[in-house]
Structure 1
């Protein structure tokens, strides 16, 4: 098969681990697979690099952020290609630019435009294992861009689609996708197969196994994904299109501690105000999650929404910028919140599931601050200090533990 194998930062955090993975890749190659490797930066290298930049200038522009943040992967690819050579395999390291990965011009959250297959397929046909830097590409103006934290998953899926790979394997420090995060729930069930849609909901609402954009890309272009443990044998979890189920079913629970709630008070209740507000957020490429508008007296509303901690600064700048224009009141933020979600099939169509979600939370006296739903998800924002208690009671209610 033609396979893309992606290895995350914890999988390549030491030279010993790199050598071990290189040995595995060499064995897979000897069994007949044609392989392209995508790697992340070693361990917490990217955090270290960003911290260096912050020490020099906490307000450094996004271009320089991408310039320094992208260098961690270049260390990994050189080490991995050299390790493969040690095991007798011809290998070459490639930056995003060298691999033919084009993006738009948005720094730190660039969107992929295309992957040119010519360079990679030429190397593969010559019996060479390309090792590609994840998380990065090149803009139309020739600048290095990055895809956002966790973007190496997206690189791997894009490369898999670009070269027409049979499979994209995501290797990490867990042996698959679980029904809940083991940090919050004791002995959660492992999921053997899950649909793109379910995995997208999980990734969007706190599951850290896969980068959200990578699953969205895989669904759009029908790239078959498998999540496996980097250093132990396992069947992992397959993510692919599955037959539609009619029976409501809760498959997993996710948690997200990395959110901030922003409230804009006393927004005039007239057409176009919300559009003006969210246009500012759109211009800054801020991703929104929950949005709630509360009706008050005298033609005034409160608008509340949640954003990630990483995008909070941009979001706050956006709403402060538009505050006077829309003649709004005070702006408040709260970083003491967390989100818990259940994900599955036809969830919102089942009043029993809806009741059990809210009843489980109420049973331990926890208040719900915000609620958001889709056909396959119910999300609740609660106080972060209550998250572990709520995760345990909800997972127990829906039988997500072994």
Structure 2
């Protein structure tokens, strides 16, 4: 088999853990597999590097941001390749550029353009284990770029596709995907199999197990994905195409507290205003969600949406520049909100599921601020100080907890 194995930051945070991972990789190689490894930076190294940069310049040039944060993965790959060499395996560390990973020119949020398989294929043919730096690539002009936080998952899936791998294994500090985050819901159910579409909705709305773009890429190219614990054998979750012709069923819920609600208040109700509001945000590649326009008297509307907390300041900078142009009366924001989403197949078609979600939220005295939906997801904004109560109530309502009464 050709196996791509990706290890996250907590899996390689100490030399001891790196040596244990090297033993597992070595065993897989001894079984006759061709193995490619992708690793993230050790533990909280990326956070440390970002903090270090911000101490020098709170608003760094994106090029220099990529230059410094990309060094974290280079430490990991050198250590892991050295650990494998100690075990008698021929391993070689590769940066994103050396592995043949090309991106566009966008710093900090680069998109993959192509992966050249030649270098890694040659190394595999020579019996070597390539250890590739996740999260990074190179732009057309030869600049180091990064794919955004969590981008090592996307690197692994891209390599798996390029090599026509039999499976892409994502190793983390949890043994697969659960129906809810245990920080919010006690004893959630383990999910053995989940569809690409459901996993995409979970990743897009707060679940931290997989990088959203990695699952989108896996679905597009039908890359088999498995999520496993890095240091424990046992449970796992397979992500694959599952027949969607089934009864509506809530499979999971996700929580996102790292969002801000923004309201552009009392803009004229005329063609082109919404386009002007979002034009500049699109050019800055800002992530938006839950867009709602509400009508007021006198031909004025409010346009509300949510943004990730890390994009909030940049979003406000953009809106301040266009406020006069779109004739907005005010720009309002609310950081004291959280989003809860239920995920499943065809759930929007069930009025009973919609009612049960709203009923569960109301049962703990929480008000719903905004609602958005897709065929496989329903999301609600609720007060942040109520999110744990809401999560418990919703999880119990949809039987997402082990031994729920």
TM-score (norm 1): 0.99
Matching of residue 213 in structure 1 with residue 195 in structure 2: no
State the secondary structure of the residue aligned to 2:119. helix
Task: Specify the alignment match of 1:16 in structure 2.
Answer: 16
Task: Specify the alignment match of 1:177 in structure 2.
Answer: 177
Task: Specify the alignment match of 2:61 in structure 1.
Answer: 61
Q: Describe the superposition over 1:336-386 as per-residue Cα deviations: whole angstroms up to 9, x where unpaired.
A: 111001000111100100000000111111100110011111100111110
Task: Specify the alignment match of 2:155 in structure 1.
Answer: 155
1:234 Cα deviation from its structure 2 partner: 2.1
Task: Specify the alignment match of 2:230 in structure 1.
Answer: 230
Task: Specify the alignment match of 1:347 in structure 2.
Answer: 347
- The whole-number CA distance in structure 1 between the counterparts of 2:4 and 2:189 is 27
State the secondary structure of the residue aligned to 2:77. helix
| Runs of 4+ residues over 2 Å off in structure 1 | none
1:203 Cα deviation from its structure 2 partner: 0.3
Task: Specify the alignment match of 1:85 in structure 2.
Answer: 85
Q: Is there any run of 5+ residues in structure 1 with no aligned partner, and where?
A: none
State the secondary structure of the residue aligned to 2:20. helix
Task: Specify the alignment match of 2:36 in structure 1.
Answer: 36
1:162 Cα deviation from its structure 2 partner: 1.0
- The whole-number CA distance in structure 1 between the counterparts of 2:168 and 2:79 is 22
Task: Specify the alignment match of 1:107 in structure 2.
Answer: 107
Task: Specify the alignment match of 1:332 in structure 2.
Answer: 332
State the secondary structure of the residue aligned to 2:367. coil
Matching of residue 375 in structure 1 with residue 375 in structure 2: yes
1:244 Cα deviation from its structure 2 partner: 2.0
State the secondary structure of the residue aligned to 1:228. strand
- The whole-number CA distance in structure 2 between the counterparts of 1:397 and 1:303 is 32
Q: Is there any run of 5+ residues in structure 2 with no aligned partner, and where?
A: none
Query: After the TM superposition, which residues 144-293 of structure 1 pair with which residues of structure 2 at under 5 Å, given as runs?
Result: 144-293=144-293
1:246 Cα deviation from its structure 2 partner: 2.7
- The whole-number CA distance in structure 2 between the counterparts of 1:313 and 1:140 is 29
- The whole-number CA distance in structure 2 between the counterparts of 1:254 and 1:210 is 13
State the secondary structure of the residue aligned to 2:4. strand
TM-score (norm 2): 0.99
1:294 Cα deviation from its structure 2 partner: 1.1
1:319 Cα deviation from its structure 2 partner: 1.4
Q: Describe the superposition over 1:62-81 as per-residue Cα deviations: whole angstroms up to 9, x where unpaired.
A: 00000001000000000000
- The whole-number CA distance in structure 2 between the counterparts of 1:245 and 1:17 is 43
Task: Specify the alignment match of 1:400 in structure 2.
Answer: 400
- The whole-number CA distance in structure 2 between the counterparts of 1:320 and 1:300 is 19
- The whole-number CA distance in structure 2 between the counterparts of 1:65 and 1:320 is 25
1:181 Cα deviation from its structure 2 partner: 0.5
State the secondary structure of the residue aligned to 2:75. helix
Q: Describe the superposition over 1:107-127 as per-residue Cα deviations: whole angstroms up to 9, x where unpaired.
A: 000000011000000000000
1:328 Cα deviation from its structure 2 partner: 0.9
State the secondary structure of the residue aligned to 1:96. coil
1:235 Cα deviation from its structure 2 partner: 4.1
Q: Describe the superposition over 1:13-52 as per-residue Cα deviations: whole angstroms up to 9, x where unpaired.
A: 0000000000000001101111000000000000000000
Q: Describe the superposition over 1:197-217 as per-residue Cα deviations: whole angstroms up to 9, x where unpaired.
A: 000000000000000000000
Task: Specify the alignment match of 1:51 in structure 2.
Answer: 51
Matching of residue 118 in structure 1 with residue 118 in structure 2: yes
1:57 Cα deviation from its structure 2 partner: 0.5
- The whole-number CA distance in structure 1 between the counterparts of 2:9 and 2:389 is 30
State the secondary structure of the residue aligned to 2:186. coil
State the secondary structure of the residue aligned to 1:22. helix
Task: Specify the alignment match of 1:75 in structure 2.
Answer: 75
